[in-house]
Amino acid sequence: MSFPNVRMRRLRRTEALRTMLDQSQVQPSSLIYPIFVDETITEPVPIVTMPGYFRYPLDRVVDEGKVALEQGVRGVLLFGVPAKKDEVGSGAYARNGVVQKAAKKLRSQFKEDLVIIGDVCLCEYTDHGHCGVIDKEGAVQNDETLELLGKTAVSQVEAGVDIVAPSAMMDGQVLAIREFLDDADFEQTPILAYSAKYASAFYGPFRDAAESTPKFGNRKSYQMSQGSVHEALREMELDINEGADMLMVKPALAYLDIISLAKSSFDVPIVAYNVSGEYSMVKAAALNGWIDEASAVNEVLTGIKRAGADLIITYHAKNVKDWLK
Ligand code: PBG
């Protein structure tokens, strides 16, 4: 059958019809709101490279938790900016580290209403800015880093974190963290693995925000090369075998094909990270009056959802209630 018997426009006629038939509606409850907590400040500090975004002092995190819930968003992802950095990233696994302190405050305020997710990585806490410990030549040491990631995860869960999300791209990190958590009797804590994490220019604004730009070299020996497809599939499969409960693809917009592959290949929730540079591009164009922000955000999130993401980590989560269709 074809035209004139078939008319595709029949089902597009009214707003109600279009809404009823929408396959990829984004709900605020499937979004995750990232929060930068900085223990060196007393007032929110604007992040220049992410217009409209701030680093928050510890005593403002509860307000940000409220912002999330008011938007209908049920999860927050915590990143820390510590007062001190050192060679081995001690701040990441300190009992009184910045993320641990933030998690305690959120936990005591929100009980089980809010899902608190901890990013597990060393780059915000090392003085060299790499995601693991380095040797004399500056090479990132995989196996030596695993124990530190395991300790970081346990200290976060002790402080009240619900889900740990390892993002260091060390081989074996999910298994190491699973073992550390189980040994500490946290066998109920899920792991959200940043499995397919590409070495991306779109992390630039985040590194500004978290002061985590590597002091030398780059992350290409541990994050994935941009053209690779088979590596993404292997990373995800390995992470499932190591005990990952959910898989992440990151960034989102330049990797929609990978999100779609992940969705069709694995029966676990797929999470996409709509990263800092993707946020800032939309924001910059909107601030210049070049695009309509609300509709652009809607379209971006719908696209990521349509590709197959069950959950989306996005800086737009902050304003999403007014913007989603
Ligand atoms: C930590 C981490 C990064 C991001 C999330 N976790 C930075 C990086 O890998 O350099 C980036 C998030 C974003 O750009 O929004 N390793």
Which tens digits make up the pLDDT trace of 245-298?
999 999 999 999 999 999 999 999 999 999 999 999 999 999 999 999 999 999
Task: Kindly give the distance from the C-alpha atom of residue 103 to the centroid of ligand 1, in angstroms, as a whole number.
Answer: 19
3-state secondary structure 232-300: HHHHHHHHHHHCCCEEEEECCHHHHHHHHHHHHHCCCCEEEEECHHHHHHHHHHHHCCCCCHHHHHHHH
**What does the angle CA 17 – CA 20 – CA 26 come to, to the nearest 5 degrees?**
130
Mean pLDDT across the stretch 171-180? Answer: 98
Distance CA 318, CA 316 (A): 5
Residue 145 scores a pLDDT above 80: yes
Task: Kindly give the distance from the C-alpha atom of residue 205 to the centroid of ligand 1, in angstroms, as a whole number.
Answer: 9
Q: Which of 39, 38, 158 is nearest to 95 (CA)?
A: 158
Q: Classify the C-alpha dihedral 92-236-175-138 as positive or negative.
A: negative
Taking a C-beta distance cutoff of 8 angstroms, is the pair 324, 316 a contact? no
Strand partners, 248: 271
Active site (annotated) includes residue 85: no
One of 85, 105, 197, 305 is an active-site residue; which one? Answer: 197
Mean pLDDT across the stretch 222-230? Answer: 96
Among 121, 224, 226, 249, residue to substitute to test ligand 1 (most atoms within 8 Å of Cβ): 121
Q: What is the mean pLDDT of the chain?
A: 96
One of 104, 250, 263, 305 is an active-site residue; which one? Answer: 250
Model's pTM, two decimal places? 0.96
Mean pLDDT across the stretch 117-138? Answer: 96
Taking a C-beta distance cutoff of 8 angstroms, is the pair 76, 64 a contact? yes
Active site (annotated) includes residue 220: no
| Minimal-distance CA residue to ligand 1 atom 2 | 167
Residue 323 scores a pLDDT above 90: no
Write the CB contacts of 194 (distance below 8 Å, at least 6 apart in sequence): 165, 166, 167, 169, 248, 250, 273
Looking at the chain, how many residues does it have? Answer: 325
Position with higher pLDDT, 321 vs 243: 243
User: Which pLDDT value is given to residue 322?
Assistant: 78
Residue 325 scores a pLDDT above 80: no
**What does the angle CA 203 – CA 279 – CA 247 come to, to the nearest 5 degrees?**
65
User: Which pLDDT value is given to residue 209?
Assistant: 86
Residue 108 neighbours by CB distance under 10 Å: 10
* Cβ of 278 less than 6 Å from ligand 1: no
Q: How far is CA 217 from CA 119, 128, 253, in A?
A: 23, 10, 25
User: Which pLDDT value is given to residue 12?
Assistant: 97
Q: How far is CA 246 from CA 35, 101, 113, 204, 227, in A?
A: 20, 25, 20, 25, 23
pLDDT tens-digit profile of 29-63? 999 999 999 999 999 999 999 999 999 999 999 99
Distance CA 258, CA 234 (A): 12
* Cβ of 274 less than 6 Å from ligand 1: no
Domains by residue range for the chain, with CATH: 26-319 (3.20.20.70)
Taking a C-beta distance cutoff of 8 angstroms, is the pair 254, 291 a contact? no
pLDDT tens-digit profile of 184-195? 999 999 999 999
Confidence category of residue 210, pLDDT binned at 50, 70, 90: confident
Residue 75 scores a pLDDT above 90: yes
Taking a C-beta distance cutoff of 8 angstroms, is the pair 168, 222 a contact? yes
Residue 174 scores a pLDDT above 80: yes
Confidence category of residue 324, pLDDT binned at 50, 70, 90: confident
